[in-house]
Each structure stands twice: as C-alpha cells, then as structure tokens.
Amino acid sequence: MKKILIILFTLLLCSDLLTANEIIPIWNRSVEAPVQDMEFLKGQEEIIMLVGERPNGLIQKRNSHTGDLINSRSQSLSSISKLALTPDSTKFLFLSGSIIRLVNTDEEFTVLNQFYIPQESDSILLYFTSLAVDPIRPIVYLTTRGWIKDIAQYADKYKVTSYNYETGVKVKDYTQYGGEEYSVLKTSHDGKYLAAMNDGDTYLRIRDIENDELIVNNPLFDGSSHRNSTPRDIYFSNNEKILSIFQGISPENYYLKIKEVGHIDLI
C-alpha cells in the first residue's frame, strides 16, 4: 500500500494532471536523497523515513504537517531498505541487506536489537526483501532472496520466514527455499492470518497462523494465458471478513496498472 500511496502522492504534486478541484500540497520540500520508505508514527504528527543508500543513508524523523526535520542519523542502507513500525509505534524495524534492526523512535534512534540471515555459502548472498510486523506478538514476517555473486544472477533462494524481533530468534519457516519470489506480505489486524503473493504466475496464499494451516492457495492468473505479474498489495478489512487483493501488472511497460483481483471471505 505504501508504494501505491507514494504513486498517488506524486500524481497529486503534478498540478498539470489535475483538471478540477485542484489539490495543493501541504508542503513540498527537497530532501537529501531519494526516500526508500516511510511510516507515520502514532497520532500522524511525525514521519519516520529511510533516505538515500549505502554509506550516505539516513534515518530521519520529520514533522508530518510542515516537513521540517526533527532529527536525523547516518545509517548505511541497502538499495532496497524497508521499515515497519511495532504496534505501539515506539519502535520500528528496518531491513537493510541481510540485517534486520529494531530501533527506538527516540532522538538518538537507539538500536535495541539486530540479527542477520544465516549465510549458507560464500558464493550466494542471502538477504531480506520485505517485512510485515505481527500486530499482537513480537514477531516480524520476512521474505528472502538469493544472489549469486560470481555470475551476478538471482538464485532460487526465496523464502517466507519469521523471527522474534525482541530476541532475534527465528520462529518458523513458512516456505522452503525455492524459485517463487514473494514480494507482498500482510498480516490481519487481529494477528490470525498471514497473506502472501508471489511474482510471476501469482498465487494468493493465506495461512492461519494460530493453527499453522494454509487455508487459501488460489491462482490469480488465467490458466490458459500466464502473465508475468508483480503483486503490489494486500488489504484486510477491519472486521477481518473481507480480503482485497491488488495486483500490479507491467510486463513490458514503465507504468503500473493496478486492479482489484478479488475478495475472499475468511469466515
């Protein structure tokens, strides 16, 4: 959803695209480098941002009404760094390469814990690609990817797993290493379900976390004409009865086409 919001926000800033009831941005200011990810803190008054990459990366907190910088800390970041808040919004997790860090939202951005994905060989680099925080338990759900260093190609090392972010101990692997890359993860508001979608011939898979049971395993493509699709988001309604799936499809285009694929009743 964050990717979709960023796209929509960018469109709103392009005034020449607006034909009626023009929306004027509250603030519009430059930052030091591209913003990789951001989250509103509880109360919507402040924003945590990951800015830039590699040695020039920054963690920043900004006023959501003015864009003014509140505090900033240098932090080496990978080119696909992402963050997610803990349920009480006093801490956040961010992934950067093969490292996950639990960070306080205080002025110093104090690192409370960090852990690494175990590396299995010197030739393949394993790293985290996306995360979703459990709303009830101190658990973070993660996806992984592999990279073959010598030939600069992706390895079939995609997996969905989970860790206790307070202890750094792995909780469970939900898939084994394989060729299906899961690019979207989402937990339900009550912490009962974990939903995931993979790239390529996309399946929606929903797991009952408490019973450790896969309850939905539905293809989202036409069996007679497979398409290389890139899922973008999953949304659970507040009453947990309806799941909306949004799938972006852009096999050869530089724009993102978003469509609602369907609804699933979990009751």
| Chain segment 58-117, per-residue pLDDT in tens | 999 999 999 999 999 999 999 889 999 999 999 999 999 999 999 999 999 999 999 999
Q: Are 157 and 144 in contact (CB under 8 A)?
A: yes
DSSP code at position 57: -
Q: Is the dihedral of CA 51, 57, 58, 59 positive or negative?
A: positive
pLDDT tens digit string along 2-24?
A: 544 444 444 444 445 445 567 77
pLDDT of residue 18: 47
Place of tokens 């992706």: 154
Nearest to 30 by CA among 11, 52, 56, 4: 52
Which pLDDT score, from 0 to 100, does residue 241 have? 65
Residue 249 has what pLDDT? Answer: 56
The per-residue pLDDT for 223 is 62
Mean pLDDT, residues 16-38: 75
Given this model, what pLDDT does residue 226 score?
A: 57
Give residue-wise pLDDT tens across range 122-148.
999 999 999 999 999 999 999 999 999
How confident is the model at residue 40, as a pLDDT? 93
Predicted confidence at residue 7, as pLDDT, reads 42
Count CB-CB contacts under 10 A for residue 160. 23
